[in-house]
């Protein structure tokens, strides 16, 4: 942990954050941070090694309850998606399903660093982001079933779900779409001076689309309160990162736009939390956007049913060795914050929530066919 360096009191953060853009850029050696392979090693904390003399890692201010809650969130995402996997294989869920099993630390770490009134834009692999942001499991599960009690009444489904009540402004079937939507929310936030933040997740594949560059440029240009979080799981669908992404590092692209860019170990929820917390805090203080690249590993296929002929199974084994849930569990255990019975209680509670959501979704009715006509415009019925 970076905290081995002499910690500086958090009060220093305010001073450090004010001139954040300049400080961060000058204190982070991107070359050292991101090796030529474009990938940080497991557990690498180059970012914090550089910054440790300047600031105490924000996660050190988290109390036991919030740390255990972070663990529970990851477990909730994991077990929810494993249940979804079963249900999908059993023919209960229509459509396509993209799971984030193995990537839970990014969703949970990022969402834990946000305020409830902050906004999140997500991706086609977005169940975890929604769960971490506090979305109702019932509403999510019923939506995956295509039932009327789904949070979108069955009109969105896995890839297009939204839960505006928790600031989750949508999964998205189009890659990098959130990169241009989030700056608009940033404009609205700036307009009302509410100190909120708009965070957008996107994948490493999406970083090669135009909207990523247009959105980062606009947010940087206008100093908008946006946090760009790239989940680099090494695969753009079935195309390897190295075969789709010039330059290797996505975090390094931030330098071209004059904003902070950091790569973190995306299998370490605390590392993700720290980076997102700082980026969000900078945004709240009108210091503009940041770009965070979280290196992680997807344990499952691009979609459920993907035979994954494109990769060696050793990659999944590597992912399992870095299991973000086991890692945080171990870390909590070492500090006496979560013992095995405690972990079992957390698991039992999460399983109960998930089974409740499944029962809710199973009991919910399908929409009436003519419900397809509602929600198109504010007024209903609408005129053609």
Partner 1 sequence: MADLEYAEALTLALREEMRRDGRVYLIGEDIVLGLPFGVTRGLVDEFGPERVLNAPISEAAIVGSALGAAMAGLRPVVDMHFADFVTCAMDEVANQIAKSRYMFGGQVDCPLTLRMPYGIGRSAGGHHSNSVEAWFVNIPGLKVCIPSTPADARGLLKTAIRDPDPVLVFEHRALYRVRGDVPDTEVLVPLGQADVKRPGRDVTVIATARMVHAALAAAERLADEGIEVEVVDPRSLVPLDREALSASVRRTHRAVIAEEGPIRGGVGGWLAWVVMEDCFDDLDAPVARVAGPNIPIPFSPPLEAFATPGTEDVVAAVRQTLE
Do 229 and 262 form a contact (C-beta atoms < 8 A)?
no
If binding means CB under 8 A, how many residues of this protein chain bind partner 1? 50
Interatomic CA distance for residues 31 and 21, integer angstroms: 18
If one asks whether residue 65 binds partner 1 (CB under 8 A), the answer comes out as no
If one asks whether residue 208 binds partner 1 (CB under 8 A), the answer comes out as no
Interatomic CA distance for residues 234 and 251, integer angstroms: 14
Do 109 and 316 form a contact (C-beta atoms < 8 A)?
no
Applying CB under 8 A, among 85, 92, 155, 311 the residue interacting with partner 1 is 155
Stretch that binds partner 1, among 14-22, 164-172, 238-246, 305-313 (CB under 8 A): 164-172
Considering the complex, state which of residue 19 and residue 258 has its C-beta at the smaller distance from partner 1. 258
Q: What separation in angstroms does the CA of 312 have from each of 66, 136, 204, 231?
A: 37, 36, 19, 20
If one asks whether residue 135 binds partner 1 (CB under 8 A), the answer comes out as no
Smallest distance, partner 1 to C-beta of residue 218, A: 4
List binders of partner 1 among 338-377 (CB under 8 A). 374-377
Considering the complex, state which of residue 74 and residue 198 has its C-beta at the smaller distance from partner 1. 198
Stretch that binds partner 1, among 72-80, 166-174, 249-257, 271-279 (CB under 8 A): 166-174
Interatomic CA distance for residues 54 and 140, integer angstroms: 41
Task: Look up residue 209 and give its two tokens.
Answer: 């689309």
Considering the complex, state which of residue 213 and residue 347 has its C-beta at the smaller distance from partner 1. 213
**309 Cβ neighbours under 8 A, 6+ residues apart:** none
Applying CB under 8 A, among 214, 286, 306, 315 the residue interacting with partner 1 is 214
Applying CB under 8 A, among 47, 119, 235, 277 the residue interacting with partner 1 is 119
Instruction: For CA atoms 52, 54, 58, 62, give the dihedral sign.
Output: positive
Smallest distance, partner 1 to C-beta of residue 230, A: 17
Interatomic CA distance for residues 118 and 376, integer angstroms: 26
Do 83 and 111 form a contact (C-beta atoms < 8 A)?
no
Q: Which of 180, 93, 108 is closest to 140 using CA atoms?
A: 93
Considering the complex, state which of residue 85 and residue 148 has its C-beta at the smaller distance from partner 1. 148
List binders of partner 1 among 167-206 (CB under 8 A). 169-170, 172-174, 177, 179-189, 191-192, 198
Considering the complex, state which of residue 71 and residue 257 has its C-beta at the smaller distance from partner 1. 257
Smallest distance, partner 1 to C-beta of residue 229, A: 16
If one asks whether residue 96 binds partner 1 (CB under 8 A), the answer comes out as no
Interatomic CA distance for residues 338 and 353, integer angstroms: 20
Smallest distance, partner 1 to C-beta of residue 178, A: 9
- Diameter of the chain measured on Cα atoms: 67
Applying CB under 8 A, among 126, 128, 135, 156 the residue interacting with partner 1 is 156
Q: Tell me how far the alpha carbon of residue 234 is from its chain's centroid.
A: 15
If one asks whether residue 223 binds partner 1 (CB under 8 A), the answer comes out as no
Neighbours of 258 (CB within 10 A): 13
Considering the complex, state which of residue 68 and residue 151 has its C-beta at the smaller distance from partner 1. 151
Interatomic CA distance for residues 296 and 315, integer angstroms: 11
Q: Is the peptide bond before 330 cis (omega within 30 degrees of 0)?
A: no
Neighbours of 45 (CB within 10 A): 23
If one asks whether residue 210 binds partner 1 (CB under 8 A), the answer comes out as yes
Q: If you search the block for the tokens 């690498």, which residue do you land on? A: 44
Considering the complex, state which of residue 284 and residue 347 has its C-beta at the smaller distance from partner 1. 284
Task: Look up residue 315 and give its two tokens.
Answer: 């990659």
Smallest distance, partner 1 to C-beta of residue 286, A: 14
If one asks whether residue 9 binds partner 1 (CB under 8 A), the answer comes out as no
If one asks whether residue 211 binds partner 1 (CB under 8 A), the answer comes out as yes
If one asks whether residue 291 binds partner 1 (CB under 8 A), the answer comes out as no
Applying CB under 8 A, among 6, 65, 90, 384 the residue interacting with partner 1 is 384
Do 323 and 331 form a contact (C-beta atoms < 8 A)?
no
Residues at the contact surface with partner 1, assessed by CB under 8 A: 119, 121, 150-156, 160, 162-165, 169-170, 172-174, 177, 179-189, 191-192, 198, 210-211, 214-215, 217-218, 221, 374-379, 382-384
């Amino acid at each position: 942990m970076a905290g081995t360096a002499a910690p500086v009191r958090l009060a220093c953060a305010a001073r450090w954050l004010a001139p954040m853009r300049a400080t961060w850029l000058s204190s982070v050696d991107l070359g050292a941070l991101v090796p030529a392979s474009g990938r940080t090693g497991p557990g690498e904390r180059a970012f914090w090694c550089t910054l440790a003399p300047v600031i105490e890692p924000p996660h050190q201010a988290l109390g036991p309850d919030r740390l255990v809650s972070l663990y529970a969130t990851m477990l909730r995402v994991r077990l929810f998606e494993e249940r979804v996997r079963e249900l999908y294989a059993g023919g209960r869920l229509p459509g396509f399903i993209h799971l984030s099993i193995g990537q839970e630390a990014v969703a949970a770490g990022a969402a834990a660093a946000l305020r409830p009134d902050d906004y999140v834009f997500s991706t086609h692999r977005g169940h975890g982001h929604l769960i971490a942001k506090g979305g109702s499991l019932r509403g999510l599960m019923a939506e995956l079933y295509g039932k009327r009690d789904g949070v979108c009444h069955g009109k969105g489904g896995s890839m297009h779900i939204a839960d505006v009540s928790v600031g989750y402004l949508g999964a998205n079937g189009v890659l990098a779409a959130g990169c241009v939507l989030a700056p608009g929310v940033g404009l609205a936030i700036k307009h009302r001076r509410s100190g909120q933040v708009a965070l957008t997740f996107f994948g490493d594949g999406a970083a090669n689309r135009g909207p990523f560059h247009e959105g980062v440029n606009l947010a940087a240009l206008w100093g908008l309160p946006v946090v760009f979080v790239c989940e680099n799981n090494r695969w753009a669908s079935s195309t390897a990162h190295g075969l789709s992404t010039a330059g290797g590092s996505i975090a390094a692209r931030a330098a071209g736009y004059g904003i902070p860019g950091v790569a973190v170990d995306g299998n370490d929820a605390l590392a993700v939390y720290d980076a997102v917390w700082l980026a969000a805090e900078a945004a709240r203080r009108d210091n503009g956007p940041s770009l965070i690249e979280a290196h992680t590993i997807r344990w499952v296929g691009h979609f459920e049913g993907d035979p994954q002929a494109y990769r060696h199974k050793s990659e999944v084994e590597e992912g399992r060795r870095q299991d973000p849930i086991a890692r945080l569990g171990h870390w909590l255990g070492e500090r006496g914050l979560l013992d095995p019975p405690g972990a079992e209680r957390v698991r039992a509670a999460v399983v109960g929530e998930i089974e409740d959501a499944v029962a809710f979704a199973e009991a919910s009715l399908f929409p009436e066919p003519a419900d397809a006509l509602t929600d198109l415009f504010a007024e209903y019925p609408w005129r053609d």
